[in-house]
């Protein structure tokens, strides 16, 4: 996910499990959408155990990012276009 690494991001959870990331998003984000693995965020297919919860707070997108050696990071990136894109195309709004 080279393009994500080039964006200005904040790491919320480091070395987390997929379940910890899901629970965090559902508990802390004002909106969340459940998506399937392969759903594209910042032009890359998201990795995870379905359902993968993607959080939105205004223009802030909160999502899991998995690396083989470091586990899963929960990341937060401010991006108006991506937040709106997710609102329009993601199935399964849950909150």
Partner 1 sequence: MSGVKGAAGKQAVLVLGCPQVPVQTSIALYLAAHLRKKGVVPVIAGNRAARLNAEVSDPDRHYTGETMDLDRFIEDLAADRRKFDYYFIFIHNDAGISYAATVQSITGATVVALIYGEHFEEMADAIEFPCEKIAAKAVHNPMPLKKKIDEVLPWVVSNL
Q: Give me the residues that bind partner 1 (CB under 8 A), please.
A: 1, 17-18, 36-38, 40, 44-45, 47-50, 66-72
CB closer to partner 1 out of 71 and 78: 71
CB of 15 to partner 1, least distance (A): 9
CB of 75 to partner 1, least distance (A): 14
CB closer to partner 1 out of 67 and 94: 67
CB of 83 within 8 A of CB of 56?
A: yes
Residues 6+ apart with CB under 8 A from 72: 13, 15, 16, 17, 18, 20, 21, 48, 64, 65, 66
CB of 19 to partner 1, least distance (A): 8
Please give the helix or strand (H or E) that residue 82 lies within, else none.
helix 80-89
CB closer to partner 1 out of 17 and 30: 17
Q: How far apart are CA 11 and CA 71, in angstroms?
A: 13
């Amino acid at each position: 996910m080279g393009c994500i690494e080039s964006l200005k991001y904040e790491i919320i959870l480091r070395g987390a499990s997929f379940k910890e990331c899901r629970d965090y998003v559902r508990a802390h984000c004002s909106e969340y959408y459940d998506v399937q693995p392969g759903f594209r965020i910042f032009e890359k297919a998201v990795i995870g155990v379905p359902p993968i919860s993607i959080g939105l707070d205004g223009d802030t997108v909160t999502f899991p990012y998995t690396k083989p050696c470091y586990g899963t990071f929960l990341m937060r990136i401010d991006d108006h276009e991506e937040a709106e894109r997710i609102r329009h195309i993601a199935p399964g709004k849950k909150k």
